Chain A
Amino acid sequence: MDVSRRAFVGGSALAAGAAQAANFNPVSELNKTVPINEFGFGIERYLGLEEQLAGQSLIELPAADPLVHLLNRCSFGLRREDLEQARLLGADHYLEQQLHPELHPDALIEAEIAYAFPNTLLPRKALAYHYSGKPLKPGGVNLGRVAVSNPLVAQADLRGLTIYRAAWSQQQLYEVMVEFWSNHFNIWTAHSGNVAIHKLLDDREVIRPHALGNFRDLLIASAKSTAMLIYLDGYVNTLKRPNENYARELMELHTLGASAMGQADGYSEQDIREVARCFTGWTVNFTTAEFMFDPLTHDFGPKTVFGETIEGTDPVMLGNGPRAIGSAAGGGISDGLRVIEMLVRNPRTARFLATKLVRRFVADEPPAELVDEVAAAYGPGELGGDIRAMLRTLLGSRWMRDPAYYQKTIKLKRPFELYISALRATDAHIARDKTPTLSLRLEAQQHVPHNWEPPTGYPDYASYWLSSEGMLQRWLACSYIGHGGDGFTRVNLTELRNGAESPEALVDQLIDRVLHRPLSAPDRQRLVDHASTHVTAHPGARRWDLAAGSVLALLLCSPYFQVR
């Protein structure tokens, strides 16, 4: 596959040359905008394909118990110690803890991060200088472990710490939401030179602080994100040369959704142009690596957005003082902030976000009634944007808790989730300094963190990920881990089998230890037969460990482990 397959959106010169073995993924759009239960009139209507392609569940399996199901859906996969803690606390208490990571910090993981990725914790300017390979000026403190670095190291560090946190943080729901918002406000770190550096800052200062907070704060932070300003060309959006890239995606992908295009309560092409004008002058100070509003490139003229008039100001009349950034009436940085407020208060935003959340946690085709409930929890007017309330409604609903409902809602693990969940289920050992290289296994599955080129984010529905190549790569990744590790990871098979030395005991032990859910009787028997054959075919002192590896690989490859 060629290098620049992903290099299609941006004008990045670097992208064409960057060693990003990747392809562009066309189906992304479905995910980005619309509930995929909106059918076009198609052949499936009368050929009976519709049921096969859409309405059906992926697979029917014996149900997992409610707590196991809940944890499976709001984590990167079950890990025994998290499950034990949740059993002690009960579902509701466990969820409340998960919704308030700030009250229950995971000190261990932060210490590990500080050890493994110290440069990601540098102050903003120092971090930017460090990874761009420029030492701070004399007098500046060089805090980095490595004196001079480069953006590719920033990208590797970001991938590494994303994987590390997803795999081992106890604040699993928080990490799931960090991934959700990183995907919602997607930024492609290979876009151009320093985007990876700015995305490190975006992760730290935009996504993580607000992942369980208020959507308004998150949206404002994202609009001012230096990474976003570069990725979607906001930093070159000026009075003389307006650039509509960010304005379009702000509405199409971040708030209202593409289905709002052309609707009375949505937006028009004219709105895109006017919103772009509102955000002129929002740019990046590349010396300090900070957001900057530049009044010299802002369009102070009057604008009409969503039918509302934003008054203009004569910038000359404002003088050069602080007021030069604008007036209350309009003109200046307040233009963009007003647009954001209008978007946050538009009920379409609540609905768009609710749909995506329900798709993330419940089903590819979000049940409409649940979307309604979650959208209502978003809150009205100035109180709107309550992410935590939306999650509380969602995770407390019968669709998450009642087997009669959740049995009908299958979510295929996307490759990142599949890989992380395999690490978690087996308590795989990852060498700290090897963490960044874990993304190699994800590269084969085209799901490396922060590596999706278009602003849509990675698709969140099964049909995108299920293909012959996708299936093969899923099995390969699972098979490597199951058989004891893949060069980056090591799985202790002796510990996992826990002394089992008969085919039945071995299979039951691994099901209990790794899967936490029942297998159908025929499937269990198939594995018992397999284990039995395996020890006969591979005699020797390590025969039970080897059989454990084979059974474990099969369990991870099986349909049971492929779904959340």
Chain B
Amino acid sequence: MMRRLVIGGLGAAALMSLTAPARAQAKSTRSSNRDVLVFVFLRGGADGINLVVPHGDEEYYAQRRPSGLGIDVAIAREELTDLDGYFGLHPGLADLAKAGGAWSQGNLACIFGVGDPAGNRSHFRNMDRLELGNGRETGQSGWLARYLALSQATVREPLARAVAINYTTPLSLAGAPGVLTLPRLDGFQLGDEPAFIDTLDSLYLDDSTGNQRLRSEGQSVLNLLGSLERTGVLSDNQANHPDYPDAGLGPDLYAAARIIDKIGDVEAICIDRGGWDTHSEERHRLDPLASELGRSLQAFYADLKSTGRNATVVVMSEFGRRMAANGSKGTDHGFGSLALVMGPQVNGGIYAKSGPDQPWTRDSGSFIQQMTDANGDMKVTTDYRAVIGHVLQQRLGFSTAHDWEALFPGHGREELAWRLFG
């Protein structure tokens, strides 16, 4: 692309000035070998206890397999891959527990009771809460955008600091300029002759309009068209990586792995997967999704191991589902959910608190009973911001010197009850 020679890194420089304001720069101290955060949002309210199943708890089977109704939403013991004699993985997640799997390597943390204590049971409102991270359901910026604004880029003129593998930019990145949003790696091309692109470029390049949004987006895309091509990331072929499923999370996590491998500038990647709203015929819907999730996560984990790159995957959903099955062989909206944290540096295990200062252990009694609130849902005992904050702090260099109030307004700094790293 000829025009790149003409305007050089101008777009990237403009982007830089937006993403790293003076105040943040002055405060920032960070190591260069920090992880890339891969945030996977399971939309629809994933049924955590049917993914990581407390099969040692008879109460689970009592709730999920009520007698006399012909309803069975439970995962039978013989289907599960046992983890520790009490919990087992949904058959779709079995790859994670095989030899070399993230669980087997001690790198998969399963945290129960995660959510926003002030949250609710509406998909849309709770998703906004989790993505805005400001304790409210409205706002202009997401927590990941604020993290980027508060911290410093790893390189001077980053091609992109964050990537959304999607058609549109998720709310967690709202307000972050220069996010690269692309649904797949092989289609990011305009395909016109250089003279056309040069003139188009000039129409989006007008000093008098300063940092206007449309122009800056146009400029940044024109820059990305050339610079992405140079990274080689666009030409990589998923067929070379057969372990990834060919739909849904498969191509997305595959793309994430390639971006992490080829574009050193990227600090965070957002991925979405919908379809988890299992009100009826739950197994019919959940099983293929679980399999896609398990295979994709394991392929990504193995990929990281082989490329030697550092990344931490955080998987969340806007809420969990009700403990008891409903009348349609499904489960209704619940409250506390399951979060997964996976990466080469993660201390794997099952983590749950049954109360503010009460870690759940097998000796505490029935997991289901201990974790259920008055509504029949899983309690929220671990704030999702504590999980994210912990990862940012431990693996992305967001230090205690940083302004937590700005990262999570109205919440501030909260320590996770466990150390998931080191």
Contacts and interface: CB of A to CB of B under 8 A. Distances in A.
A554 B170 contact: no
Contacts of B278: 11
In this complex, the member of A40, A53, A241, A522 whose beta carbon has the largest number of chain B beta carbons within 10 angstroms is A40
B5 interface: no
A467 B171 contact: no
A526 B202 contact: yes
In this complex, the member of B138, B171, B181 whose beta carbon has the largest number of chain A beta carbons within 10 angstroms is B138
Given A4-B275, A470-B168, A550 B181 contact: no
B10 interface: no
Given A7-B274, A465-B168, A24 B43 contact: yes
Given A42-B139, A42-B409, A8 B277 contact: yes
A296 interface: no
A554 B177 CA distance: 25
B134 A40 contact: yes
A297 to B, nearest CB: 14
Nearest to B225: A472
B167 A470 contact: yes
Nearest to A525: B202
Interface string B354-398: 000000000000000000000000000000000000000000000
A2 B247 contact: yes
Contacts of A468: 179-182, 188, 217, 220-221, 224
Interface in B182-215: 182-184, 188, 190-192, 195-196, 199-200, 202-204, 206, 208-209, 211-215
A465 B181 CA distance: 11
Interface string A478-512: 01000000000000000000000000000000000
Interface in B387-416: 406-407, 409-410
In this complex, the member of A2, A36, A462 whose beta carbon has the largest number of chain B beta carbons within 10 angstroms is A2
Contacts of B170: 26-27
Interface stretch (A85-93, A155-163, A529-537): A529-537
Contacts of B172: 26
Interface residues on B, range: 35 or more
Contacts of B251: 1-2
B23 to A, nearest CB: 6
B149 A47 contact: yes
Nearest to B197: A475
A46 to B, nearest CB: 8
A29 B213 contact: no
B77 interface: no
Nearest to B274: A8
A530 B203 CA distance: 11
A404 interface: no
B24 A47 contact: yes
Contacts of B407: 43
Contacts of A111: none
A466 B409 contact: no
Given A467-B217, A479-B192, A58 B167 contact: no
A49 B405 CA distance: 16
A29 B127 CA distance: 8
B240 to A, nearest CB: 20
Contacts of A33: 125, 137-138
A49 B216 CA distance: 14
B128 interface: yes
B132 interface: yes
B140 A53 contact: yes
B183 A23 contact: yes
Contact of B141 (A25, A28, A42): A42
Given A464-B168, A520-B206, A39 B23 contact: no
B248 interface: yes
Nearest to A465: B168
A213 to B, nearest CB: 29
A446 interface: yes
Interface in A1-44: 1-11, 13, 16, 23-30, 32-34, 36, 38-44
B195 to A, nearest CB: 6
B281 A13 contact: yes
Interface in A398-414: 412
Contacts of A23: 166-168, 183, 272, 274
B143 to A, nearest CB: 9
B21 A469 contact: no
B63 interface: no
A218 B260 CA distance: 51
A9 B123 CA distance: 8
Interface string B237-281: 000000000011101000000000000000000001111111111
Contacts of A465: 168
A38 B167 CA distance: 26
B150 A43 contact: yes
B164 A467 contact: yes
B86 interface: no
A52 B18 contact: yes
B214 A412 contact: yes
Given A40-B138, A563-B214, A60 B196 contact: no
Contact of A553 (B131, B196, B212, B285): B196
B71 interface: no
A56 B139 contact: no
A66 interface: no
B328 interface: yes
Contacts of B43: 8, 24, 26
Nearest to B213: A58
B406 A56 contact: no
In this complex, the member of A4, A46, A57 whose beta carbon has the largest number of chain B beta carbons within 10 angstroms is A4
A59 interface: yes
B61 interface: no
B405 to A, nearest CB: 8
A63 to B, nearest CB: 14
A530 B199 contact: yes
Contacts of A13: 281, 284-285
B233 interface: no
Nearest to B224: A468
A536 to B, nearest CB: 10
A1 B139 contact: no
B274 A43 contact: no
Contacts of A26: 41, 43, 127-128, 131, 168, 170-172, 272
Contacts of A73: none
A306 to B, nearest CB: 19
B123 A454 contact: yes
A303 interface: no
Nearest to B327: A241
A32 B206 CA distance: 34
A16 B275 contact: yes
In this complex, the member of B149, B183, B247, B274 whose beta carbon has the largest number of chain A beta carbons within 10 angstroms is B274
Interface of A: 1-11, 13, 16, 23-30, 32-34, 36, 38-44, 46-50, 52-54, 56-60, 241, 248, 252, 258, 412, 446, 453-454, 456, 462-472, 475-476, 479, 520, 522-523, 526-527, 529-530, 533-534, 537, 550, 553-554, 557-559, 562-563
29 contacts: A4-B248, A9-B44, A11-B281, A23-B183, A23-B274, A25-B167, A27-B174, A29-B128, A33-B137, A33-B138, A38-B138, A42-B134, A47-B23, A53-B213, A58-B212, A59-B209, A59-B213, A59-B214, A454-B124, A456-B124, A462-B213, A466-B217, A468-B188, A469-B181, A526-B199, A530-B196, A554-B200, A559-B214, A559-B218
Given A471-B217, A471-B221, 8 more contacts: A8-B276, A11-B279, A30-B174, A59-B213, A467-B181, A472-B190, A530-B196, A530-B199
Interface of B: 18, 21, 23-24, 41, 43-44, 122-125, 127-128, 131-132, 134-141, 145-146, 149-150, 164, 166-172, 174-175, 177, 179-184, 188, 190-192, 195-196, 199-200, 202-204, 206, 208-209, 211-215, 217-218, 220-221, 224-225, 247-249, 251, 272-281, 284-285, 288-289, 327-328, 330, 406-407, 409-410
Ranked 6 nearest A-B pairs via Cβ = A8-B274, A40-B139, A2-B248, A467-B181, A8-B44, A40-B134
